[in-house]
Amino acid sequence: MSDAALPAPATPAWTARAAGRLAGISRRSPTLAIGAAIILGFALLAVLAPLISPESPVASNPARVLQAPSAANWFGTDGNGMDVLSRVIHGSLYAFGIAIPVVIVGLLIGVPVGLWTGWTGGWPDEIVMRGSDALRVFPSIILALAVVAAAGPSLLNVVLVLGLLDAPVYARVVRAEVLSLRNGTFVEAAVAAGNPTRRILFRHILPNALRGATAQTAVRAAWAVRISATLAFLGVGIQPPTPEWGAMIRQGAEYMVTGEWWVAVFPGCALILLVLGLNMLGDGLADLLDPRRKAATR
Amino acid sequence: MSLLEVRDLHTHFIAYDLDNRLRTARALNGVSFSLEPGRILGLVGETGAGKSLTALSILGLLKPPARVVAGQAVFEGRDLLALPPEELNALRGARIGLVVQSPKTSLDPLARIGQQLVRLQRAHRPEFSAAQAEARAAEMLAAVGIPDPKRRLRAWPHELSGGMAQRVLIAMALVNEPSLLIADEPTTGLDVTVQAQILDLLRGLARQRGIGAVIITHDLGVVAHYCDEAAVMFAGQVVEHGPVSALFARPAHPYTRALIAATPERLQLRAPRPSGSPPNLYALPEGCLYRDRCPMAQDVCTRPPPDLALRDGHAARCHLAEAA
Amino acid sequence: MSAPVLRVEGLSKRFAAPGGGVIGAVNDVSFTLAAGETLGLVGESGSGKSTLGRCVLRLTAPSEGRVIFMGQDITSVPEARCRPLRANMQMVFQDPWAALNPRMTARDLIEEPLMLHTRLSRAERRDEATRLGLRVRLPSAMLDRYPSELSGGQQQRVCIARAIATKPALIVLDEPTSSLDLSVRAGILDLLAELKEETGAAMLFITHDLGTLRLMADRVMVMYLGRVVEQATAAEVFERPAHPYTQALMSAHLPADPAVPLARHVLRGEIPSPINLPPGCGFASRCPVAIPACRERLPPLEELAPGHRAACLRVADGGNRIPS
């Protein structure tokens, strides 16, 4: 409304300012705040896993196979006598270890492709977009299954395959933004000022075209966590006894019928909670990252 | 009795910012004006002065975080701001017609013009039969100068030009025979040669039907030639109001004078003129809101200025109005 | 005056219409522009004035005709070879908010043309940007702000600073003040008038507002439906408008003074669709003095007096004046 500077408030300590900002963001978007809190919780678990987990996640003990939750083993023990709590805690490390690289691989492939096809249009655009359509027609789980089964079930393979499958999502959102920016006035102004194409693309268009992709990252990380767990559950991803939630659920599923529910339920809850948190973070980011919106509420 | 009397209307935007501080933007700070039946009032001001917000406040169309915190808007003896929503709803589109700025986006793209006019009539007058309402719709289109109205009832909004769409909106605003018409920038975005047609039409219909009208505009030319009265807004206040002839001949508020001096035909390039930004609505100063820009500001201006009555219903919210 | 900075010969620009057919946005336009001269290009929406401005700067390729800039034919020069020329021809857009990259500070934006077209070091560019900022009356503290933190007038000042940074020989201004409020507009016009004198740049000033042209332009070119209908010195156009369209356009302007009577020739209808135009004068469908011949034959742009040309068949028989 007004361009006059706001009255400078008495500068509080930076901690108070940060706390105020946190509270302000939580009030604007509780979804974002809850999502971020969940992710932060899991990130702490992952980083501190070696320190806080009561036991080694792969220490088997034939003397206490399939013990129900107790004071000694809060989440009980599994078929190998391993402590489920320790395995769930370490599992968060694997969840992030897959989700973050998958998102990075997806962005590294998807963003440049979206930028290029959105700017040039024409036949490269057609080919890439039809190609990505074709990828999307297959259920991604089937595609991932096939490739991982063929290439071997290593962590690296899972990451590469999921990242590649995810790239079209980023390519699409970036392309859509580039298309609308390409004919926009400030891009025309950049041409009129004499900018070379490379600078127009990277200085003027790219920074303004990343909003959608940024908001997508959390949602896509949730997808990566879910799919990698599914792969492990189906037995083609990460193999036991690695403490990965999907693999743990697969092991635990066998015991469900005989009443030893804790082996599968605890990693399952962890998985649901993390996926939920990531999705909430993604939704909140999408709201908050709109610079025009920020200007309007200034 | 006045048709519409707005008294000391205050509307604030109250919201928490990203740093969790509760902040209040005082967008309207005491808007007062009145309108007699059959007269046309021009509500004029620059961006952010609160013209449209005044209309939205009166009509109960504010969206959070904006809310009316004080004031009255008495229309035909009833305070609109105190009415329950359903009663206000019954007035809007019936006793009060509204013409908005962007005709193209204000028409339902999925309904024919005729359907929209019929729908609007039957919403407020269930006793009308579809045939009656359609006949009146055609009459209304004819009245706003749309050729071949019978056939045009079948037209879709996207088939209309900007000027035609604005005529249809005027027809919609008038079809339920309101006694008050509020037109928010009715010609902004139209070509100048079309602007004259629309303004002639608006004024003609208001006169002929005895409707009181408020035209919200930033164009002093529109006020000078199509309004009987003018109210000049600055920073959420009416700083001067009165009959158009008096207001243009003897502008009493320094802001009005600056505004008139900045019109293209009066503008002297490279002459000294008040500069500066409008006041910060989050931290309004005490006293006159214009004083930072005012070339005549004095010590007395740090106190809130009175609404000084001059001659012939002409008044200005300025300590120095009489001296000027 | 010296050799022309810009010479445009028989320029046309056609687009394919979405539903088939051809839009003749600009048709056979010729003019010259000398150093230090300001040519006002006036017309309503759809007159092709903005497209013409873009063709001149090679932001879009003309369909026919030639654009000769500083003695060099740039009509079909590839974009890569146009780029060094852009130091000498710059543009200011209508909506400064849309024309500024929201992720760059005012300083980055002003430094950009210097970085592209000069060999100044980083520190020298910084100093120069500060100097340019002061020149357009933006205090250096403002330069570290993003466009969203500046007011509309300040944003337009950033755009102007960008445009004059490389001391261009030609500046195209596309409605530089029409999105701004009256009091802000006055300041921008002041600035442009100073720069015109100081830099000696040729200016192509595109607007729909005759009032602004009266202040800024040395010569005026009036466009209707992609064709030039009248061309003369500013004084001549305002005193003796020859083409009926120019007369109508001038009378449609509403002076901000109720005491000035309106000599109004309200035109009927609206600007026709530019798709597949019929033969004859484009204005014939709305012209109050049209004769049958107007619909058959395209009137040539003929000289009435030295430097004053109009495209109207009725000029010959003296019937071009619209009776009031």
* C186-209 pLDDT tens trace: 999 999 999 999 999 999 999 988
Residues 6+ apart with CB under 8 A from B312: B242, B243, B246
What's chain C's average pLDDT? 91
Regarding whether C199 and C54 lie in a shared domain, the answer is yes
Q: Chains contacting B with at least 3 CB pairs below 8 Å?
A: A, C
pLDDT number for residue A295:
38
Residues of chain A in Cβ contact (below 8 Å) with chain B? 1-7, 9, 17, 20-25, 27-28, 297
Regarding whether C144 and C57 lie in a shared domain, the answer is no
What is the CATH number for A76? Answer: 1.10.3720.10
Please tell me which of the candidates C44, C186, C254 has its beta carbon nearest to residue B267: C186
Residue at C323 is within a domain: no
pLDDT in tens, B88-119: 999 998 999 999 887 778 899 999 999 999 99
The domain of C112 spans: 102-163
pLDDT in tens, C231-260: 999 999 999 999 999 999 888 888 888 998
Which of A286, B180, A196 has its CA nearest to residue C84? Answer: A196
- Decide if pLDDT at A17 tops 60: yes
pLDDT in tens, C118-138: 999 999 999 999 999 999 999
- Decide if pLDDT at A4 tops 50: no
pLDDT number for residue A2:
42
Which residues of chain B have a CB within 8 Å of the CB of C45?
191
Please tell me which of the candidates A2, A5, A21 has its beta carbon nearest to residue B18: A21
Residue at A9 is within a domain: no
Contact A282, C139 (CB under 8 A): no
Task: Please count the helices (runs of H) and the strands (runs of E) in chain A.
Answer: 13, 0
What is the Cβ-side half-sphere exposure of residue B15, based on CA atoms within 13 angstroms? 15
Please tell me which of the candidates C87, C99, C117 has its beta carbon nearest to residue A189: C99
Substitution target in B188, B193, B203, B250 with the highest count of C β-carbons within 10 Å is: B193
* Cβ-defined contact of B16 to A6 (cutoff 8 Å): no
Assess C311–A contact: CB distance below 8 Å, yes or no: no
Residue at C95 is within a domain: no
* φ, ψ (nearest 5 deg) of residue B302: -75, -10
Residue at A14 is within a domain: no
Residues of chain B in Cβ contact (below 8 Å) with chain C? 46-47, 161-164, 191-197, 200, 218-225, 244-245, 248-249, 258-260, 262-267, 269-270, 273-275, 277
Residue at A3 is within a domain: no
Instruction: Find the closest chain A residue to C168 by CA distance.
Output: A193
Instruction: Give the distance from residue A152's alpha carbon to the nearest chain C alpha carbon, in angstroms.
Output: 44
Please tell me which of the candidates B200, B219, B267 has its beta carbon nearest to residue C215: B267
pLDDT-derived band at A12 (thresholds 50, 70, 90) equals low
Regarding whether C134 and C189 lie in a shared domain, the answer is no
Sheet of C38-42: strands edge to edge?
Answer: C89-92, C170-174, C202-207, C38-42, C219-224, C227-233, C308-310, C302-305
- Decide if pLDDT at C264 tops 80: no
Instruction: Give the distance from residue B18's alpha carbon to the nearest chain A alpha carbon, in angstroms.
Output: 4
pLDDT number for residue A5:
44
C-alpha dist (Å) from residue A111 to A94, A163, C132, C229: 25, 12, 36, 49
Tokens of B49: 């002065």
Domain boundary among C163, C179, C211: C163
Full set of structural domains in chain B with CATH = 4-107+160-269+286-317 (3.40.50.300)
Residue at C66 is within a domain: yes
- Decide if pLDDT at B163 tops 90: no
Regarding whether C261 and C201 lie in a shared domain, the answer is yes
Residue at C190 is within a domain: yes
Which of the listed ranges A58-67, B186-195, B314-323, C136-145 does the model predict with the highest average pLDDT? C136-145
The domain of A138 spans: 20-296
Residue at C10 is within a domain: yes
pLDDT in tens, A143-182: 888 888 888 878 888 899 899 989 999 999 999 999 999 9
ipTM rounded to 2 decimals: 0.90
Residue at A4 is within a domain: no
**Number of structural domains chain A divides into:** 1
Contact C44, C211 (CB under 8 A): no
- Decide if pLDDT at A296 tops 60: no
Domain boundary among C122, C146, C163: C163
Does residue A141 or residue C122 have the better pLDDT? Answer: C122
Regarding whether C50 and C135 lie in a shared domain, the answer is no
Q: How much is the average pLDDT of C218-223?
A: 96
pLDDT number for residue A290:
64
Residue at A15 is within a domain: no
Among the ranges given (A233-237, B222-226, B234-238), the one the predictor scored with the smallest mean pLDDT: A233-237
* φ, ψ (nearest 5 deg) of residue B322: -65, -40
Domain boundary among C163, C190, C210: C163
- Decide if pLDDT at B323 tops 80: no
pLDDT number for residue C247:
92
**Number of structural domains chain C divides into:** 2
Residue at A170 is within a domain: yes
Regarding whether C261 and C135 lie in a shared domain, the answer is no
pLDDT in tens, A253-274: 889 888 889 999 999 999 999 9
What is the CATH number for C175? Answer: 3.40.50.300
Regarding whether C146 and C12 lie in a shared domain, the answer is no
Q: How much is the average pLDDT of A2-26?
A: 70
Residue at A212 is within a domain: yes
pLDDT number for residue B16:
87
Regarding whether C158 and C173 lie in a shared domain, the answer is no
Substitution target in B260, B269, B290 with the highest count of C β-carbons within 10 Å is: B269
- Decide if pLDDT at B247 tops 70: yes
Residue at A6 is within a domain: no
Residues 6+ apart with CB under 8 A from A176: A118, A212
Q: How many residue pairs bridge chain A and chain B with CB atoms within 8 Å of each other?
A: 45
